[in-house]
Amino acid sequence: MDSATKEEMVNDLIQAARYNDIDDIINLASEGVSLDLKDSQGRTALHMAAANGHLEVVDYLIRNGADPNASNMENNTPLHYACLNGHTQVVTKLTLAGANVAALNSHEKSPVDEALSRGKMEVVAAIDAVSMQMELDSAKIS
């Protein structure tokens, strides 16, 4: 695949995720397009879906192997974007999928810091609830 074709596929994937076009994402994936392709700023489809609160797209991407800890050029993860924009259901989905709640971006801010900076207390509560549930589940297993 030449670089122009790859860039076009990346742009198509990113735009589909940004605008909640699950059908386009499914079609691109069926054509063999990697769901973890990054644009020139290092963003993936999961970054765009998380930033815009598109839960169905986030769910599809995660179920099909997209990396919940992918980082862009500023080390922001999809969880940073979801927290910053207050998308509680997406935050829960990403956290359950193994997104690192302590990951620091290039500004030394974690996803929780980003939520707090915007007064998104419901997001912080969602992360706390998922973290507690995961600890309880872990304690039951051991």
What pLDDT score does 1 carry?
56
Alpha carbon 9 to its chain centroid, in Å, reads 19
CA nearest neighbour of 67 among 100, 40, 89: 100
Indicate the fold that domain 3-141 takes in CATH: 1.25.40
Q: Cα-flanking dihedrals φ and ψ of residue 98, to 5°?
A: 100, 15
Provide the 10 A C-beta neighbour count for residue 97: 19
Amino acid at 106: S
Q: Cα-flanking dihedrals φ and ψ of residue 44, to 5°?
A: -110, 175
Domain residues of the chain, as ranges? 3-141
46: pLDDT strictly greater than 70: yes
pLDDT tier for residue 134 given thresholds of 50, 70 and 90 = confident
Once rounded to an integer, what is the mean pLDDT over residues 39-68? Answer: 97
Which one is predicted more confidently, 96 or 5? 96
What lies within 8 Å, CB to CB, of 35 at 6+ separation is 13, 25, 29, 44, 45, 46, 61, 64, 65, 66
Q: What is the pTM of this model?
A: 0.92
Tokens of 37: 């392709």
What lies within 8 Å, CB to CB, of 60 at 6+ separation is 22, 25, 26
Q: Are 49 and 22 in contact (CB under 8 A)?
A: no
Would the CA dihedral through 78, 82, 83, 88 be positive or negative? Answer: negative
